[in-house]
Amino acid sequence: MDVYRIQGGRVLQGETRIYGAKNAALPILAASLMVRGVTRLHDVPNLQDVQVMLEILQRLGARAEWIEPGTVEIDATNVSSTDVPEDLMQRMRSSIFLMGPLLARFGDVRLSKPGGCVIGQRPIDYHLRGIRQLGAKVEEQHGFIRCTSHRLYGNLLSLDFPSVGATENLMMAAALADGETIIENAAREPEIVDLARFLNACGAKIRGAGEHRIVISGVHHLHDGEHTVIPDRIVTGTLLMAAAITGGEVVLRNADANHLLAVLGKLQESGLRVYSEHDIITCKRADAIRPVDMRTEPYPGFPTDLQAPFMSMLTLAKGTSILRENVFEARFKHVDELLRMGADIRVDMRTAVIRGVSRLSGATVEASDLRGGAALVVAALAAEGETEIRGLRHIDRGYESLHQQLAQLGASIERLELNC
């Protein structure tokens, strides 16, 4: 079992580059299955979920490999299976992205319910309803889902909630359907825009990605394409919060401030000075952390994926903050661990009240989901003494060598293999 050992109290300082976004790379990797030919993707983060997605593509018969650090090439010409391996399906939520592409290209896909972070019920009803509305037959039995169709047909789809995953899955399926599809109440996240850009670069006809209404004119096939994945806004936010809690000053290169406006606004409200120019974000904390109220919302609101690290930062604010989690109903699992480190937090349903304390103290804690794990790292950087963080498999899903990136900024953090 691997653990992080962190000696808190080091001020983060220096410069680091932000790598490509996991949540953009994963649907794009799945979409590469729709291309009869070769896809080349740059700035692909080398993290666990990406490894699992590459393994899925390989097991389906595609050639999918790193050709240099950060660059992946996929040749999906000879895909021979539409049966997504169950063991890999369970390993991450993003395995659901295989549904739209395989169905659209081959008229057939068999998969099981996806795994991923346990942060709420996370049903896939919008995905299935939308796929049915595009003309597919969907059968659910013994935990497996089989979708089949001779052809998919464009339709008017309306989401009850702007689901990121459903918007992406349906956009991919509709890209090869006959006729026009309109997705109303679509999610507007930058990762959706990135996916649409990739698909359009391969010959798809998608307009309006990033807006509430996406219009997709189906095409017969997609051709070879090359694409660079957008920078990871959640990693960017995590590092800004890590810098803020330690009173540091960091420079983040290849970062997109436009994707983080709600987050940067809240960080400024908390007393962090943030500057951005071109693709560089610089931050500096000179004064005490001020309390801030915040609620998570679909983009362009404050992202739920940064709620946990933001909470860690606010545990040391001078006053009381109130956070409301509006996207997932069970995304406060990090709270118990922060309490072990001396935080003062009360949770009532979807609301957390954080009374700032004067210090956190190092403890042995366990990550139980990806961003909750990152939140423990953020807290540990400012805690007195040593913190040991277990459950690194969750953090590994979404951060590329987080310990190395933080060490580069001056943190005292090491990754150890414990024999137990």
Ligand X SMILES: CC(=O)N[C@H]1[C@@H](OP(=O)(O)OP(=O)(O)OC[C@H]2O[C@@H](n3ccc(=O)[nH]c3=O)[C@H](O)[C@@H]2O)O[C@H](CO)[C@@H](O)[C@@H]1O
Q: Which residues contact 20 (CB under 8 A, 6 or more apart)?
A: 42, 43, 44, 45, 70, 228, 229, 230, 231, 232
Q: Which residues contact 265 (CB under 8 A, 6 or more apart)?
A: none
For residue 7, the one-letter residue type is Q
Closest residue to ligand PEP, based on beta-carbon distance: 116
State how beta strands 38-42 and 71-75 pair.
antiparallel
State yes or no: residue 262 binds ligand X (CB under 6 A). no
CB of 53 to ligand PEP, least distance (A): 11
Choose between 367 and 370: whose C-beta lies nearer to ligand PEP. Answer: 370
The catalytic residue positions are 117
Do 7 and 78 meet the contact criterion of CB atoms below 8 Å apart? no
Does 23 appear as a known binding residue?
Answer: yes
Tokens for 193, please give them.
Answer: 């825009």
Do 318 and 291 meet the contact criterion of CB atoms below 8 Å apart? yes
- Whether a cis peptide bond, with omega within 30° of 0, leads into 45 is no
State how beta strands 272-277 and 280-285 pair.
antiparallel
Tokens for 345, please give them.
Answer: 């937090």
Q: What residues does 222 pair with on adjacent strands?
A: 35
State yes or no: residue 370 binds ligand PEP (CB under 6 A). yes
Count of Cβ atoms closer than 10 Å to residue 213 Cβ: 12
State yes or no: residue 20 binds ligand X (CB under 6 A). no
Q: How far apart are CA 152 and CA 258, in angstroms?
A: 36
CB of 356 to ligand PEP, least distance (A): 25
**Residues within window 92-131 making contact with ligand X, judged by CB under 6 A:** 93-94, 120-127
State yes or no: residue 305 binds ligand PEP (CB under 6 A). yes
Count of Cβ atoms closer than 10 Å to residue 393 Cβ: 14
CB of 77 to ligand PEP, least distance (A): 28
Show the binding pattern over residues 328-367: x = contacts ligand PEP (CB under 6 A), - = does not: ----------------------------------------
State yes or no: residue 93 binds ligand PEP (CB under 6 A). yes
CB of 111 to ligand PEP, least distance (A): 15
Q: Which stretch binds ligand X (CB under 6 A): 32-40, 132-140, 163-171, 373-381?
A: 163-171
Does 59 appear as a known binding residue?
Answer: no
SS3 label, residue 112: strand
Show the binding pattern over residues 173-192: x = contacts ligand X (CB under 6 A), - = does not: --------------x---x-
Ranges assigned E (strand) in 271-343: 272-277, 280-285, 294-295, 320-324
Q: What residues does 228 pair with on adjacent strands?
A: 42
The half-sphere exposure of 268 on its side-chain side, counting CA atoms within 13 A, is 11
Show the binding pattern over residues 302-341: x = contacts ligand X (CB under 6 A), - = does not: -xxx---------------------xx-------------
Q: Which residues contact 277 (CB under 8 A, 6 or more apart)?
A: none
State yes or no: residue 116 binds ligand PEP (CB under 6 A). yes
Binds ligand PEP by CB under 6 A, chosen from 398, 399, 400, 411: 398
N- to C-terminal Cα separation, the chain: 7
Binds ligand PEP by CB under 6 A, chosen from 39, 82, 94, 236: 94
**Residues within window 277-306 making contact with ligand X, judged by CB under 6 A:** 303-305
**Residues within window 19-58 making contact with ligand PEP, judged by CB under 6 A:** 23
State yes or no: residue 394 binds ligand PEP (CB under 6 A). no
For residue 272, the one-letter residue type is L
Tokens for 140, please give them.
Answer: 């659910």
Q: How far apart are CA 214 and CA 208, in angstroms?
A: 5
Tokens for 390, please give them.
Answer: 């277990």
Ranges assigned E (strand) in 230-269: 249-253
Q: How far apart are CA 171 and CA 161, in angstroms?
A: 15
Does 52 appear as a known binding residue?
Answer: no
CB of 69 to ligand X, least distance (A): 22
Choose between 118 and 353: whose C-beta lies nearer to ligand X. Answer: 118
Does 327 appear as a known binding residue?
Answer: yes
Does 285 appear as a known binding residue?
Answer: no
CB of 169 to ligand X, least distance (A): 9
What residues are designated binding site? 22-23, 93, 305, 327
Binding residues vs ligand PEP (CB under 6 A): 23, 92-94, 116-117, 305, 370-371, 398
Site residues for ligand X per CB under 6 A = 23, 26, 93-94, 120-127, 161, 163-166, 187, 191, 303-305, 327-328
Could you list the residues known to form a binding site for UDP-N-acetyl-alpha-D-glucosamine, using ranges.
93, 305, 327
